[in-house]
């Protein structure tokens, strides 16, 4: 099971790009990296998933270096509504019982 | 709307009591996960079922149990409730192994 380490909290301002880094030194060959977003009193919501290099969708980008020991979630031009907790997960696509949520990063966007 | 439903939305009970939380996964999803989230805490994985069979166990107390039925809905049973069991309980479902988890709206349990 690959353990992940994220900053506990981050602050940023509206309109800025926010990068949240996750460390996963023990990532295994079959593991994918997935990010979820959670608002208070709601269930987490999938943001993005990747295996290597760069993945981009309509809400975020995910950068994964060649050694895959870390990953960075990039949120372009954040707004107040991006204030949430962001979780980085590392799991084996073939055996989903290895996917565990940690404590996440509490992102606070300021006006 | 994730397609995952949980009932009830809120539950208030007393210490020592027993409650059952229910989860219906998205149509076609075979795997159900249960999580506990206490105030200002991260999600604690409790247990996972896949097509009726227990697949993985996390930090689930012996007072808690779960099952997944042939129609794939799942129930989480919490007994001998304590004040510390007050939390949001989420279930999530997935279609593919290791795939995106779709979370329900949660059940807020308050133990008085």
The pLDDT, as a whole number, for residue A111 is: 94
pLDDT computed for residue B14 by the predictor:
98
**pLDDT tens across B9-64, in order?**
999 999 999 999 999 999 999 999 999 998 867 788 899 999 999 988 888 999 99
Model confidence over A29-67: pLDDT tens digits?
Answer: 888 899 999 998 899 999 999 999 999 999 999 999 999
Query: Is any Cβ of chain A less than 8 angstroms from the Cβ of B45?
Result: yes
pLDDT of residue A102: 77
What residues of chain A lie within 8 A of the CB of B3, using their CB?
none
A83: Cβ contacts below 8 Å, ≥ 6 apart: A107, A108, A109
3-state secondary structure of A96: helix
Angle at B45 between CA A23 and CA B79, to 5 degrees: 160
B61 in contact with chain A, both atoms CB, cutoff 8 A: no
Interchain contact, B42 vs A42, CB within 8 Å: no
- CB of A96 less than 8 A from some CB of B: yes
Verify whether the Cβ–Cβ distance B99 to A45 is below 8 Å: no
- Judge whether B45 and A46 are in contact, CB under 8 Å: no
Cross-chain Cβ contact B100/A46 below 8 Å: yes
Q: B107 Cβ partners below 8 Å, 6+ apart?
A: B6, B7, B8, B9, B10, B11, B21, B88, B89
* % of chain A surpassing 70 pLDDT: 92
């Amino acid at each position: 099971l690959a353990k992940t380490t994220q900053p506990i909290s981050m602050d940023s301002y509206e309109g800025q790009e926010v990068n949240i880094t996750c460390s996963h030194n023990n990532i295994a060959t079959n593991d994918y990296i997935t990010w979820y977003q959670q608002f208070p009193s709601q269930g987490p919501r999938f943001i993005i998933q990747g295996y290597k290099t760069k993945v981009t969708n309509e809400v975020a980008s995910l950068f994964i270096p060649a050694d895959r020991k870390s990953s960075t979630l990039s949120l372009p031009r954040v707004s107040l509504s991006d204030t949430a907790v962001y979780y980085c997960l590392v799991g084996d696509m073939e055996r989903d019982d290895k996917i565990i949520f940690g404590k996440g990063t509490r992102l606070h966007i300021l006006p | 709307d994730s397609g995952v439903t949980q009932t009830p939305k809120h539950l208030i009970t007393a210490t020592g009591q027993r409650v059952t939380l229910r989860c219906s996964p998205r149509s076609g999803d075979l795997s159900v996960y249960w999580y506990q989230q206490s105030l200002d805490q991260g999600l604690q994985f409790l247990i996972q079922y896949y097509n009726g069979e227990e697949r993985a166990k996390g930090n689930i107390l012996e007072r808690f149990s779960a099952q997944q039925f042939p129609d794939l809905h799942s129930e989480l049973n919490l007994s001998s409730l304590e004040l510390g069991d007050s939390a949001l309980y989420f279930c999530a479902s997935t279609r593919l192994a290791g795939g995106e988890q779709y979370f329900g709206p949660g059940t807020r349990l308050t133990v008085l």
